[in-house]
Amino acid sequence: MSQETKVSDKKVSPKLETIEELLELMSKYYTKESCEKIFEVYKFSESAHEGQIRRSGEPYISHPIGVASILAKLNLDYSTVATGLLHDTVEDTGVTLEELVTRFGKTIAELVDGVTKINQIKFRNTHEKQGENIRKMIVAMGQDVRVVLVKLADRLHNMRTLNHMPYEKQVIKARETLDIYAPLAGRLGMMSMKVELEDLSFRYSMPDQYYSLVQKINKKKKEREKYIEDVIEALTNEVKKRVKFKFKVYGRSKHLYSVYKKMTHRNVDYDQLYDLLAFRVVVNTIPECYEILGIVHSVFKPIPGRFKDFIAMAKANNYQSLHTTVVGLSGERIEIQIRTKDMHDIAERGIAAHWQYKEGASVKNVSQQAIDKFNWLRDLVSMHQQTHDSDEFLENIKKDLYDEEIYVFTPNGDVKAFPDGSTPIDFAFSIHTDVGSKIVAARINGKLVPLKHELQNGDTVEIITSKNQKPSKDWLNYCVTTKARSKIRAYVKIEQRKRAMELGREILEKAFRKEGRSPQKYYEGIVFEKYLKDNGANSLEDLFMVVGYGKLAPRNVLEALVPDHSEVKEQAEESFLQKAMKSALSKKKSSDTLVIVDGMDDVLVRFAKCCNPIPGDAIVGFIALGRGITIHKADCEKTFEIDAARKVDVAWTRGKSPTASRMVRMRVISHDIPGLLKQMTEVMSASGTNIHNAQIRTTRDKKAICIFDISVRDTEQLEIVMLNLNKLKGVLGVSRITHS
């Protein structure tokens, strides 16, 4: 098995590959003629690199041969293997691209050019450079994925021969590989490439941890090998009893880096890790896979929840297999994978399997087919075209490159794959940008959940939208996919600018009005134009934006545009009560207590006890998991404690049921005067409210505190009652109590 862990670590370079070995490899799947052409390419490359020596002291050509051999082992086509041999010629020797075109044709020259371009981006250990590099790699992939295959082979060979490099360089290269190349190989489905890159990087970037793990593993090596043999034998015997078809059972230790990740992730030591071994049964057909699964589960006890059917639902990188975890011979957990030979080939070689030479199939067709299968590549390429900020780009794609997948269902039963940690927001944006932008909530397996809710394997997800909804910046905290994040960011940016502009317009308008001037007069003419220019603004809108963002004070604008501007004239403000009275009298709308929840019908609505909102109050709704929507006053302190992701837009319905009312509590403090209570109750009933409960107590300083529970239609009615109570002689204060 190519994934077999080499637990006995050897600190020597691998044996040098020779051109003879490369030709031998190629002759297994290529015509004699192509092999001869490869030999021509080799001779050209060798003379170009003549005199160049690697750090190890070997002639430079050993590196291109090594790279080409890795590509040939992946059974890649002639052009790719040839590119492996030529990949450093343009960069490191006097060979020109034109020369390559003349000698070997346009395809190979373009591939070499692609690899050279990737190499020219020098890595510095900053985020920005990494982002830039991945971006270029992705552009290269979009045109011809083979460029990246050559680059990966180049990196793998360099990692294999890294021990000749100085320590600092080893660490840098190893980290880079772990950060970018290994995940990329994984996403391209090239598992054996990924595993080898990871273990080599692990060794050079964290040598202490690496060698201590190797020691621990070696200690129990014999025990483990015996155990593997026992399981293989037991499994083989049981299957043989029951089926006639051919199959083979393999067993191995998981590779070092994955063991290390498990140890750190679960914070356990090596001895405490159970699932360090993996077994694999390889068969010929899909029905045989399921038949083997049945046998495995009847022989070993399966662990619930650990069975995964990646045959029915292939991973985004096209990986297919059945996975199950069972209780092994001595009570340990063992993981068993069941797959066909073809699936195994795809699992090991991934996208490379689609470029292998096929008699009669043109490479171009094969590559288009592969691109179609690797849909996420297209997303990345279009992402690249939309984002010009490398940092943002890297941040965006990281999730796509690294994370495990979960599988969820649409209401129609279609399956969609998402990175772990995805939410309904990710799901909604994956359907369509319009759906994502308008999402207000989701039903998962029939239950209402907030936007923040993390999707789980097997969930059925139904998105609830509202035409009034808009994406919000908060959402960025609750989504992980590239698509959702970049769309929300783009929207938020535009919105922010709009808001800043409106705010700036308003601030300036007020500043002008305060001095009794109309701003319109000053928004034109030479002085104005010059002022715009001086402040780096191209238009009036730009100026508003500058003011809105707070970069320019309105006073400065006024001073500049109004040469003779005078002192601010004080304006008598209407008292709050006057205003309240006015609004109470001006509005004559009826309302009822029903609440419309944005985009949803028939939702259970409850009013929060903490603030007891009544119609007319500004309100917000929050999704209470499994318990519908809770309505709070918009200014309720409790709302600050509630996760913003649960927020939904709600509104009072108007004019449906004028008889509906809500209970509200009021406190009236007054002098303890006989007859005053009677006047209070008269005021209340005159305003059409009902008193449900009253508590009265007096204080030592001859004051009366009355608590009334009354039912009101809305805030308008309440305001009128409160105003009239306030007018009574002897009343000191009237307030609405929202906290009992």
Shortest CB 85 distance to Mn ion, Å: 11
Rounded to whole angstroms, the Cα distance separating 88 from 154 reads: 10
CB 397 within 8 A of CB 132: no
Pick between residue 154 and residue 598 the one whose CB is nearest to Mn ion.
Answer: 154
Rule CB under 5 A: say whether 400 interacts with Mn ion. Answer: no
Task: Please choose, from the candidates 248, 253, 228, the residue with its C-alpha nearest in 3D space to the C-alpha of residue 292.
Answer: 248
**Rule CB under 5 A: which of 608-647 touch Mn ion?**
none
- Going by the DSSP 8-state scheme, the letter that residue 54 receives in this structure is -
Pick between residue 88 and residue 110 the one whose CB is nearest to Mn ion.
Answer: 88
Which span (146-154, 180-188, 207-215, 675-683) binds Mn ion, by CB under 5 A? 146-154
Crossing angle of the two packed helices 19-27 and 32-48, in degrees rounded to 10: 160
Residues touching Mn ion: how many (CB under 5 A)? Answer: 2
Which span (25-33, 88-96, 205-213, 219-227) binds Mn ion, by CB under 5 A? 88-96
Q: Is the dihedral of CA 49, 52, 56, 58 positive or negative?
A: positive
CB 522 within 8 A of CB 469: no
Pick between residue 86 and residue 371 the one whose CB is nearest to Mn ion.
Answer: 86
Rule CB under 5 A: say whether 88 interacts with Mn ion. Answer: yes
Left (φ > 0), alpha (ψ -120 to 50) or beta: where does 189 sit?
left
Pick between residue 85 and residue 380 the one whose CB is nearest to Mn ion.
Answer: 85
Which span (147-155, 216-224, 302-310, 398-406) binds Mn ion, by CB under 5 A? 147-155
Q: Is 434 a catalytic residue?
A: no
The label of the residue with tokens 């003779």 reads 564
Q: Is 91 a catalytic residue?
A: yes
Rounded to whole angstroms, the Cα distance separating 355 from 17 reads: 23
Q: At residue 11, what are phi and psi to the nearest 5 degrees?
A: -95, 30
Pattern 101-140, binding to Mn ion, x per CB under 5 A? ----------------------------------------
Which span (148-156, 179-187, 256-264, 307-315) binds Mn ion, by CB under 5 A? 148-156
Shortest CB 174 distance to Mn ion, Å: 16
Pick between residue 88 and residue 459 the one whose CB is nearest to Mn ion.
Answer: 88
Rounded to whole angstroms, the Cα distance separating 285 from 148 reads: 32
Which span (154-162, 261-269, 284-292, 353-361) binds Mn ion, by CB under 5 A? 154-162
Shortest CB 76 distance to Mn ion, Å: 16
Shortest CB 156 distance to Mn ion, Å: 10
| Three-class secondary structure assignment of 456-524 | CCCCEEEEEECCCCCCCHHHHHHCCCHHHHHHHHHHHHHHHHHHHHHHHHHHHHHHHHHCCCCHHHHCC
Which span (83-91, 303-311, 576-584, 624-632) binds Mn ion, by CB under 5 A? 83-91
Rounded to whole angstroms, the Cα distance separating 34 from 25 reads: 12
User: Catalytic one among 9, 92, 113, 643?
Assistant: 92
Pick between residue 169 and residue 226 the one whose CB is nearest to Mn ion.
Answer: 169
Pick between residue 156 and residue 611 the one whose CB is nearest to Mn ion.
Answer: 156
Pick between residue 88 and residue 426 the one whose CB is nearest to Mn ion.
Answer: 88
Shortest CB 88 distance to Mn ion, Å: 5
Rule CB under 5 A: say whether 154 interacts with Mn ion. Answer: yes
Retrieve residue 485's tokens: 């994040």
Retrieve residue 612's tokens: 């007891």
User: Catalytic one among 4, 20, 91, 342?
Assistant: 91
CB atoms within 10 A of CB 708: 23
Rounded to whole angstroms, the Cα distance separating 461 from 428 reads: 9
Shortest CB 190 distance to Mn ion, Å: 18
Shortest CB 377 distance to Mn ion, Å: 24
Tell me how many degrees the CA angle 183-187-189 measures, rounded to the nearest 5.
115
Shortest CB 210 distance to Mn ion, Å: 25
Pick between residue 151 and residue 384 the one whose CB is nearest to Mn ion.
Answer: 151
Q: Which residue is nearest to Mn ion (CB)?
A: 154
Give the list of residues 6+ apart from residue 57 with CB closer than 8 angstroms, or none. none
Shortest CB 103 distance to Mn ion, Å: 20
Q: At residue 337, what are phi and psi to the nearest 5 degrees?
A: -110, 140
Which span (32-40, 149-157, 449-457, 538-546) binds Mn ion, by CB under 5 A? 149-157
Rounded to whole angstroms, the Cα distance separating 198 from 384 reads: 26
CB atoms within 10 A of CB 290: 15
Q: Which residues are catalytic?
A: 91-92
Site residues, Mn ion (CB under 5 A): 88, 154
